[in-house]
Amino acid sequence: MSKPVVKRKSRFKSFTEGLFSALIAALIIRQFVVQAYTIPTSSMENTLLIGDFLLVNKFNYGMRTPDWIGIPYTKIGVDLPWFRFPALRDPQPFDVVIFRYPRDHSMDYIKRCIAVGGQTVEIIDKVVYVDGKKFPFPPYGKFTDPRIFRRDEGRFFFPTFRNLGSRDNYGPITVPKDKYWVMGDNRDNSSDSRVWGFVDHSEIVGQALIIYFSWNSHVPLSQFFKKIRFGRIGRVIR
Protein backbone atom coordinates (compact mmCIF):
# COMPACT_ATOMS: atom_id res chain seq x y z
CA MET A 1 0.00 0.00 0.00
CA SER A 2 1.48 3.32 -1.06
CA LYS A 3 1.91 6.19 1.39
CA PRO A 4 -0.09 9.39 0.82
CA VAL A 5 1.93 12.11 -0.80
CA VAL A 6 2.17 15.32 1.26
CA LYS A 7 2.83 18.36 -0.87
CA ARG A 8 5.21 20.80 0.76
CA LYS A 9 5.30 24.47 -0.02
CA SER A 10 8.51 25.74 -1.45
CA ARG A 11 10.63 27.80 0.87
CA PHE A 12 10.25 30.78 -1.42
CA LYS A 13 6.46 30.53 -1.45
CA SER A 14 6.33 30.19 2.35
CA PHE A 15 8.65 33.18 2.71
CA THR A 16 6.63 35.39 0.36
CA GLU A 17 3.34 34.43 2.01
CA GLY A 18 4.79 35.18 5.45
CA LEU A 19 6.22 38.47 4.25
CA PHE A 20 2.92 39.47 2.68
CA SER A 21 1.01 38.61 5.87
CA ALA A 22 3.48 40.61 7.98
CA LEU A 23 3.17 43.57 5.61
CA ILE A 24 -0.63 43.53 5.80
CA ALA A 25 -0.48 43.28 9.60
CA ALA A 26 1.98 46.19 9.76
CA LEU A 27 -0.23 48.36 7.54
CA ILE A 28 -3.28 47.60 9.68
CA ILE A 29 -1.38 48.44 12.88
CA ARG A 30 -0.02 51.63 11.29
CA GLN A 31 -3.44 52.76 10.14
CA PHE A 32 -5.43 51.93 13.24
CA VAL A 33 -3.22 51.52 16.33
CA VAL A 34 0.33 52.95 16.38
CA GLN A 35 2.26 54.99 13.82
CA ALA A 36 5.78 56.41 13.76
CA TYR A 37 6.41 60.12 13.21
CA THR A 38 9.48 62.31 12.86
CA ILE A 39 9.77 65.84 14.27
CA PRO A 40 10.84 68.25 11.47
CA THR A 41 10.56 71.65 13.21
CA SER A 42 11.44 73.37 16.48
CA SER A 43 7.90 74.42 17.47
CA MET A 44 7.67 71.84 20.29
CA GLU A 45 11.14 72.37 21.80
CA ASN A 46 12.33 71.26 24.22
CA THR A 47 9.61 68.69 24.71
CA LEU A 48 10.33 67.39 21.23
CA LEU A 49 13.48 68.15 19.25
CA ILE A 50 14.14 68.12 15.52
CA GLY A 51 15.17 64.56 14.73
CA ASP A 52 13.07 62.89 17.42
CA PHE A 53 11.25 59.78 16.22
CA LEU A 54 8.09 59.03 18.14
CA LEU A 55 5.25 56.56 18.33
CA VAL A 56 1.71 57.89 18.21
CA ASN A 57 -1.31 56.12 19.70
CA LYS A 58 -4.17 56.27 17.19
CA PHE A 59 -6.42 54.02 19.28
CA ASN A 60 -7.26 56.29 22.25
CA TYR A 61 -9.02 58.99 20.26
CA GLY A 62 -10.80 56.55 17.95
CA MET A 63 -9.26 54.70 15.03
CA ARG A 64 -10.18 56.09 11.63
CA THR A 65 -10.35 54.39 8.26
CA PRO A 66 -8.21 55.75 5.40
CA ASP A 67 -9.59 58.93 3.86
CA TRP A 68 -7.19 59.09 0.92
CA ILE A 69 -5.37 56.67 -1.35
CA GLY A 70 -2.67 57.58 -3.82
CA ILE A 71 1.06 57.92 -4.43
CA PRO A 72 2.97 58.48 -1.16
CA TYR A 73 4.70 61.87 -0.69
CA THR A 74 2.62 63.40 -3.49
CA LYS A 75 -0.86 64.88 -3.75
CA ILE A 76 -1.77 62.46 -6.55
CA GLY A 77 -4.67 60.37 -5.30
CA VAL A 78 -8.36 60.29 -4.48
CA ASP A 79 -10.35 61.06 -1.33
CA LEU A 80 -12.29 58.22 0.26
CA PRO A 81 -15.36 58.21 2.50
CA TRP A 82 -14.19 57.43 6.03
CA PHE A 83 -15.43 56.94 9.56
CA ARG A 84 -13.99 56.95 13.07
CA PHE A 85 -14.38 54.08 15.50
CA PRO A 86 -15.60 54.85 19.04
CA ALA A 87 -12.89 56.51 21.14
CA LEU A 88 -11.66 55.46 24.56
CA ARG A 89 -11.50 59.17 25.37
CA ASP A 90 -11.34 62.54 23.65
CA PRO A 91 -8.23 64.76 23.63
CA GLN A 92 -7.77 66.61 26.91
CA PRO A 93 -5.88 69.79 27.81
CA PHE A 94 -2.12 69.11 28.11
CA ASP A 95 -2.21 66.11 25.71
CA VAL A 96 0.38 66.27 22.91
CA VAL A 97 -1.64 65.52 19.79
CA ILE A 98 -1.06 64.77 16.11
CA PHE A 99 -3.61 66.28 13.73
CA ARG A 100 -4.18 67.19 10.11
CA TYR A 101 -3.04 70.74 9.47
CA PRO A 102 -6.31 72.68 9.05
CA ARG A 103 -4.98 74.58 6.02
CA ASP A 104 -3.59 71.49 4.26
CA HIS A 105 -4.88 68.06 5.24
CA SER A 106 -1.99 66.35 3.46
CA MET A 107 0.29 67.52 6.31
CA ASP A 108 0.37 66.30 9.91
CA TYR A 109 1.18 68.73 12.73
CA ILE A 110 2.01 68.09 16.38
CA LYS A 111 1.13 70.55 19.17
CA ARG A 112 -0.12 70.56 22.76
CA CYS A 113 -3.84 70.70 23.39
CA ILE A 114 -4.58 73.80 25.46
CA ALA A 115 -8.38 73.91 25.53
CA VAL A 116 -11.41 71.94 24.34
CA GLY A 117 -14.89 72.92 23.22
CA GLY A 118 -16.61 75.32 25.61
CA GLN A 119 -13.42 76.58 27.25
CA THR A 120 -12.13 80.15 26.89
CA VAL A 121 -8.47 80.93 26.14
CA GLU A 122 -6.66 84.20 26.80
CA ILE A 123 -2.95 85.05 26.64
CA ILE A 124 -1.67 87.91 28.81
CA ASP A 125 2.01 88.83 28.58
CA LYS A 126 2.83 85.31 27.26
CA VAL A 127 0.97 83.57 30.10
CA VAL A 128 -1.87 81.31 28.90
CA TYR A 129 -5.13 81.29 30.82
CA VAL A 130 -7.97 78.80 30.30
CA ASP A 131 -11.31 79.76 31.86
CA GLY A 132 -9.48 82.40 33.86
CA LYS A 133 -6.95 79.98 35.38
CA LYS A 134 -3.26 79.86 34.51
CA PHE A 135 -2.54 76.93 32.19
CA PRO A 136 0.36 74.74 33.44
CA PHE A 137 3.52 75.52 31.53
CA PRO A 138 5.06 72.37 30.00
CA PRO A 139 8.12 71.13 31.93
CA TYR A 140 10.32 71.35 28.81
CA GLY A 141 8.61 74.34 27.20
CA LYS A 142 10.53 77.54 26.53
CA PHE A 143 10.50 81.16 25.42
CA THR A 144 13.21 82.41 23.07
CA ASP A 145 12.24 86.07 22.60
CA PRO A 146 12.43 88.46 25.57
CA ARG A 147 10.12 90.95 23.83
CA ILE A 148 6.45 91.04 24.76
CA PHE A 149 4.22 92.31 21.97
CA ARG A 150 1.22 94.38 22.99
CA ARG A 151 -2.26 93.37 21.86
CA ASP A 152 -2.10 95.83 18.93
CA GLU A 153 1.31 94.60 17.73
CA GLY A 154 0.22 91.46 15.92
CA ARG A 155 2.02 92.66 12.79
CA PHE A 156 5.36 91.78 14.41
CA PHE A 157 4.37 88.10 14.50
CA PHE A 158 2.07 86.30 12.08
CA PRO A 159 -1.38 87.89 11.54
CA THR A 160 -3.38 86.33 14.36
CA PHE A 161 -6.60 84.34 14.08
CA ARG A 162 -9.59 86.70 13.87
CA ASN A 163 -7.18 89.58 14.62
CA LEU A 164 -7.73 89.13 18.35
CA GLY A 165 -4.32 90.37 19.43
CA SER A 166 -0.65 89.49 19.12
CA ARG A 167 1.54 86.48 19.78
CA ASP A 168 1.93 87.43 23.46
CA ASN A 169 -1.39 89.11 24.23
CA TYR A 170 -4.36 87.42 22.60
CA GLY A 171 -8.06 86.82 23.07
CA PRO A 172 -10.17 85.99 24.94
CA ILE A 173 -11.63 83.43 22.55
CA THR A 174 -14.07 80.59 23.29
CA VAL A 175 -13.47 77.22 21.63
CA PRO A 176 -16.54 75.90 19.78
CA LYS A 177 -17.96 72.44 20.39
CA ASP A 178 -15.94 69.54 18.89
CA LYS A 179 -12.94 71.78 18.29
CA TYR A 180 -9.59 72.26 20.05
CA TRP A 181 -7.10 75.05 20.72
CA VAL A 182 -3.48 73.93 20.32
CA MET A 183 -0.10 75.61 20.83
CA GLY A 184 3.57 74.72 20.52
CA ASP A 185 5.72 74.38 23.64
CA ASN A 186 8.26 76.70 22.00
CA ARG A 187 5.82 79.56 22.53
CA ASP A 188 7.75 82.30 20.70
CA ASN A 189 8.45 80.18 17.63
CA SER A 190 5.30 78.25 16.82
CA SER A 191 2.65 78.63 14.15
CA ASP A 192 -0.42 77.33 15.97
CA SER A 193 -4.02 78.18 16.87
CA ARG A 194 -2.97 81.79 17.44
CA VAL A 195 -2.36 81.94 13.68
CA TRP A 196 -4.77 79.51 11.98
CA GLY A 197 -7.44 78.87 14.58
CA PHE A 198 -9.18 75.77 15.84
CA VAL A 199 -8.52 72.09 15.13
CA ASP A 200 -11.67 70.15 14.33
CA HIS A 201 -12.28 66.81 16.02
CA SER A 202 -12.30 65.14 12.60
CA GLU A 203 -8.70 66.32 12.05
CA ILE A 204 -7.31 64.63 15.17
CA VAL A 205 -5.04 61.67 14.35
CA GLY A 206 -3.63 60.47 17.67
CA GLN A 207 -1.69 61.11 20.87
CA ALA A 208 2.11 61.24 21.05
CA LEU A 209 3.38 58.45 23.29
CA ILE A 210 7.12 57.87 23.42
CA ILE A 211 10.40 58.79 21.73
CA TYR A 212 11.91 55.60 20.33
CA PHE A 213 14.92 57.20 18.61
CA SER A 214 16.54 60.63 18.34
CA TRP A 215 19.03 61.84 15.74
CA ASN A 216 21.00 65.10 15.94
CA SER A 217 21.66 66.20 12.37
CA HIS A 218 23.90 69.09 13.51
CA VAL A 219 26.64 66.78 14.80
CA PRO A 220 29.17 65.78 12.11
CA LEU A 221 29.06 62.22 10.84
CA SER A 222 32.62 61.69 12.09
CA GLN A 223 31.13 61.74 15.61
CA PHE A 224 28.51 59.16 14.73
CA PHE A 225 27.66 58.01 18.25
CA LYS A 226 27.16 61.59 19.38
CA LYS A 227 24.57 62.03 16.64
CA ILE A 228 22.29 59.62 18.50
CA ARG A 229 20.66 61.25 21.53
CA PHE A 230 20.69 58.14 23.71
CA GLY A 231 19.30 60.06 26.69
CA ARG A 232 16.06 60.78 24.82
CA ILE A 233 15.36 57.21 23.72
CA GLY A 234 12.45 55.75 25.66
CA ARG A 235 11.28 59.11 27.02
CA VAL A 236 7.53 59.23 27.58
CA ILE A 237 6.04 62.40 26.06
CA ARG A 238 4.30 64.61 28.60
**Segment 117-175, tens digit of pLDDT:** 999 999 999 999 999 999 999 999 999 999 999 998 877 677 899 999 999 999 999 99
Q: 200 lies in a domain?
A: yes
- CA distances 156 to 54, 109, 162, 173, 186, Å, are 33, 23, 16, 21, 17
Residue 31 confidence (pLDDT): 46
Residue 221 confidence (pLDDT): 81
7, 9, 10, 43: the active-site residue: 43
Q: 49 lies in a domain?
A: no
Q: 77 lies in a domain?
A: yes
Q: 111 lies in a domain?
A: yes
Q: 162 lies in a domain?
A: yes
Q: 1 lies in a domain?
A: no
3-state secondary structure 204-234: EEEEEEEEEEEECCCCCHHHHHHHECHHHCC
pTM of the predicted model as reported, rounded to 2 decimal places: 0.82
* Owning domain of residue 193: 55-232
CA atoms within 13 A on the CB side of 119: 23
Residue 179: phi and psi, rounded to 5, are -130, 165
- Position 94 pLDDT exceeds 80: yes
C-beta of residue 53 within 8 angstroms of C-beta of residue 36: yes
Q: 142 lies in a domain?
A: yes
43 is catalytic: yes
10, 42, 106, 111: the active-site residue: 111
The per-residue pLDDT for range 25-58, each reduced to its tens digit, is: 444 444 444 577 889 999 999 999 999 999 998 8
CA atoms within 13 A on the CB side of 56: 28
Residue 116 confidence (pLDDT): 98
Give the total number of structural domains in the chain.
1
Q: 16 lies in a domain?
A: no
CATH code of the domain covering residue 216: 2.10.109.10
